[in-house]
């Protein structure tokens, strides 16, 4: 009678211990079934050889890889298939990644694990008494596909980040345990995966490079127009330096370069010097940008009577005394008063150019009145003059133009007697008085 009682107690105790392994053999009993510590498997409590193709692998974006890049995120996957006639609807597993040195006898962790999926736990070496950490089930996991019959599949994927550079090769170990869920090990099956060695990828030294682009302005452009270039460096380090070149001659520094002095056919490039340690290809030179710079032909003005005509262009804008004339955008312009006339043209390339001034005197202009309406003295002067007008011209615009057609003074005659001063070199000047279509012109001499 005592023997029967002792036997019953022993069987019950073993059953309790084995039933507890469903929450992880490493967590519950410090058991490594993967083989990383040597041996492995679940032979003390389960039957083996029930699964087909149990394997472990390292995945990158769903693709199995055989090497890792230090510090890069991957997924460790373990999978198997029920190849027996038993119905095994649930499973457990163990997987570990260890350094190749010591693997199979005295393993050490390699890399770090990420967030565990549901029903999966990370059992650390400190908590299990093993020398390596084990990822395993914390409760029996339902099969991935199928209901437990032959062909049912089991799989689990766990995020893992590769170790630091210089760690060397690592080894992935794993084991799958298929269970029937009867509360004991009876009828359960297991199979170890073939360990997989993953080598550390050898990273080549970084290579410096630089490219340039026009960030303000255009190519083709017009003579005298500003163009800005920006350099973009790769592997330049924390403080790269940039040297801009125009036709092989130093032209500027910094990551940007602006110029308005380019000529047609000139080539712009940039040389970047990296301060990144161990970098290759420094200094790096950008592919050059060959510039097309269009120079417009300066327009000329011809006169026929009161009609001024510009040389041929795509568009025109006439000005008098430096002020644009509203609506004066044809090739010819008919003037009605004395003044200094210029034309700005735009050519077929969109480039603009200004003509020299043509000064129209009062001669032949019907609106010029008798000279007693305008008196200027002293004449010659040093630039300080007294300007006297008839009362009907009070409030008129006053413009003084030099012999080159340049405006040197502009204002209003607020009184019939006005004092004013104009600047300029010694020479002949024209004083233009304009009000309500009426124009007065007088020549003066500056000493």
Which of 99, 101, 94 is closest to 40 using CA atoms?
Answer: 94
Give the contacts of 156 (CB within 8 A, at least 6 positions apart). Answer: 77, 78, 79, 93, 95, 117, 120, 141
What value does the mean pLDDT take over residues 58-69? Answer: 92
Tokens of residue 114, six digits: 């990420």
Query: No. of H helices and E strands in the chain?
Result: 3, 39
Does residue 370 register a pLDDT over 60? Answer: no
Lowest pLDDT segment from 137-146, 167-176, 229-238, 359-368? 359-368
Q: Distance (Å, rounded) from C-alpha 388 to C-alpha 367?
A: 19
- Give the pLDDT score at 248: 95
Mind listing the pLDDT tens digit for each residue in 384-410? 999 999 888 899 999 888 866 678 899
Q: Does position 59 have pLDDT exceeding 60, yes or no?
A: yes
Same fold, 209-294 and 371-446: yes
Q: CB count, 10 Å around CB of 78?
A: 24
CA distances, 406 to each of 151, 335, 367 (Å) = 98, 18, 23
Of residues 73 and 16, more confidently modeled = 73
End-to-end CA distance of the chain: 145
Residue 101, pLDDT > 70, answer yes
Q: Residue 304: what pLDDT?
A: 82
Beta bridge partners of 304: 307
Provide the strand spans (E) within 101-188.
112-113, 120-123, 134-137, 141-142, 153-161, 170-179
β-sheet bridge partners, residue 246:
249, 268
Q: Which helix (H) or strand (E) holds 5?
A: helix 2-20
pLDDT at 4 over 50: no
Measure the CA–CA gap between 47 and 99, rounded to whole angstroms.
29
pLDDT surpasses 70 at 105: yes
* Residue 127, pLDDT above cutoff 60: yes
Q: Which of 208, 84, 80 is nearest to 144 (CA)?
A: 80
Give pLDDT, residue 306: 78
Cα(96)–Cα(160) distance, integer angstroms: 10
pLDDT beyond 70 at 290 = yes
pLDDT for 256: 97
List for the chain the helix, strand, coil content (%; round to 5): 10, 45, 45
pLDDT at residue 365, rounded to an integer = 45
Residue from 365, 384, 363 nearest 446 by CA:
384
Mean pLDDT of 57-76: 93
Q: Which residue has the higher pLDDT, 439 or 282?
A: 282
In the prediction, which pLDDT does 363 show?
A: 52
Residue 362: pLDDT band with limits 50, 70, 90: low
Distance of CA 329 to CAs 80, 183, 398, Å?
A: 85, 99, 25
Give the pLDDT confidence score for residue 254 in this predicted structure.
97
Query: Domain map of the chain by residue range?
Result: 18-200, 209-294, 301-360, 371-446
Tokens of 278: 């161990």
pLDDT value at position 405? 63
Q: What is the mean pLDDT of the chain?
A: 87
Judged by average pLDDT, the poorest of 24-28, 232-236, 279-283, 440-444 is 440-444
pLDDT score for 199: 96
What is the spatial distance between Cα 361 and Cα 368, in angstroms, rounded to a whole number? 10
What SS3 class is residue 354?
Answer: strand
In this prediction, residues 334-361 reach a mean pLDDT of 89
* Confidence bin at 130 (pLDDT 50/70/90): very high
Q: Which helix (H) or strand (E) holds 25?
A: helix 25-29
The C-alpha atoms of residue 441 and residue 275 are separated, in whole angstroms, by: 70
CATH number of 209-294: 2.60.40.10
Dmax (CA) for the chain in angstroms is 154
Specify the higher pLDDT residue, 215 or 51. 215
The pLDDT score that the predictor gives to residue 288 is: 97
Has residue 49 got a pLDDT over 80? Answer: no
Its CATH architecture, for the domain 371-446, is Sandwich (2.60)
- Which CATH number among 3.10.20.600, 2.60.40.4060, 2.60.40.420, 2.170.190.11 corresponds to the domain 18-200? 2.60.40.4060
pLDDT score at 10: 29
Q: Rounded mean pLDDT of 67-86?
A: 93
Report angle CA 8, 12, 18 to the nearest 5 degrees.
150
In the predicted model, what is the mean pLDDT of residues 74-102? 94
Give the separation between CA 416 and CA 397, rounded to whole angstroms: 13
Higher pLDDT, 368 or 138: 138
What pLDDT digit, counting tens, does each position of 5-48 carry? Answer: 333 332 233 333 333 456 788 999 999 999 999 876 654 445 55
Give backbone dihedrals phi and psi of 141, rounded to 5 degrees, phi first: -105, 135
Is the pLDDT higher at 257 or at 304?
257
The residues near 240 (Cβ < 8 Å, ≥ 6 apart) are: 233, 272, 273, 274, 275
| Residue 174 near residue 192 (C-beta atoms within 8 A) | yes
pLDDT over 80 at 279, yes or no: yes
C-alpha span between 111 and 71 (Å, rounded): 8
Determine the average pLDDT of the residues in 422-434: 87
Tokens 């043509």 belong to 358
- Give me the mean pLDDT over the 172-199 stretch: 90
Q: What pLDDT, in 10s, does the model give residues 325-343?
A: 988 999 998 787 888 999 9
Q: How far apart are CA 228 and CA 226, in angstroms?
A: 7
């Amino acid at each position: 009678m005592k023997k029967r009682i002792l036997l019953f107690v022993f069987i019950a105790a073993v059953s309790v211990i084995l039933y507890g392994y469903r929450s992880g053999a490493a967590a519950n009993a410090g058991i490594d079934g993967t083989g990383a510590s040597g041996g492995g498997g679940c032979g003390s409590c389960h039957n083996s050889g029930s699964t087909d193709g149990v394997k472990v692998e390292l995945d990158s974006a769903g693709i199995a890889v055989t090497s890792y890049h230090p510090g890069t995120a991957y997924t460790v996957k373990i999978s198997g298939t029920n190849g027996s006639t038993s119905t095994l609807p649930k499973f457990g597993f163990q997987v570990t990644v260890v350094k190749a040195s010591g693997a199979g006898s005295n393993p050490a962790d390699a890399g770090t694990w990420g967030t565990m999926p549901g029903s999966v736990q990370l059992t650390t070496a400190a908590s299990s008494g093993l020398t390596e950490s084990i990822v395993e089930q914390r409760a029996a996991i339902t099969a991935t596909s199928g209901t437990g019959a032959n062909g049912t599949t089991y799989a689990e994927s766990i995020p893992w980040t590769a170790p630091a550079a210089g760690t060397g090769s690592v080894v992935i170990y794993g084991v799958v345990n298929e269970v029937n869920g009867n509360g004991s090990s009876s009828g359960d099956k297991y199979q170890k995966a073939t360990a997989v060695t993953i080598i550390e990828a050898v990273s080549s030294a970084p290579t410096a490079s630089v490219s340039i682009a026009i960030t303000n302005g255009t190519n083709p452009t017009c003579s005298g127009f500003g163009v800005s270039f920006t350099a973009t460096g790769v592997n330049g380090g924390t403080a790269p330096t940039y040297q801009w070149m125009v036709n092989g001659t130093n032209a500027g520094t910094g990551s940007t370069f602006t110029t308005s002095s380019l000529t047609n056919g000139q080539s712009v490039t940039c040389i970047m010097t990296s301060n990144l340690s161990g970098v290759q290809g420094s200094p790096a030179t950008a592919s050059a940008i060959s510039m097309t710079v269009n120079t417009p032909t300066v327009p000329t003005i011809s006169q026929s009577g009161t009609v001024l005509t510009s040389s041929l262009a795509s568009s025109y804008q006439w000005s008098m005394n430096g002020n644009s004339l509203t609506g004066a955008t044809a090739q010819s312009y008919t003037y009605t008063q004395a003044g200094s006339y210029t034309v700005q043209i735009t050519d077929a390339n969109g480039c603009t150019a200004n003509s020299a001034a043509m000064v129209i005197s009062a001669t032949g202009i019907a609106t010029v009145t008798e000279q007693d309406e305008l008196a200027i003295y002293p004449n010659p002067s040093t630039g300080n003059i007294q300007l006297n007008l008839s009362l009907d011209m009070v409030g008129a615009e006053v413009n003084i133009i030099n012999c080159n057609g340049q405006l040197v003074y502009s204002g209003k005659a607020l009184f019939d007697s006005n004092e004013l001063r104009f600047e300029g070199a010694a020479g002949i000047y024209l004083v233009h008085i304009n009000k309500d279509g009426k124009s007065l012109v007088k020549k003066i001499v500056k000493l």
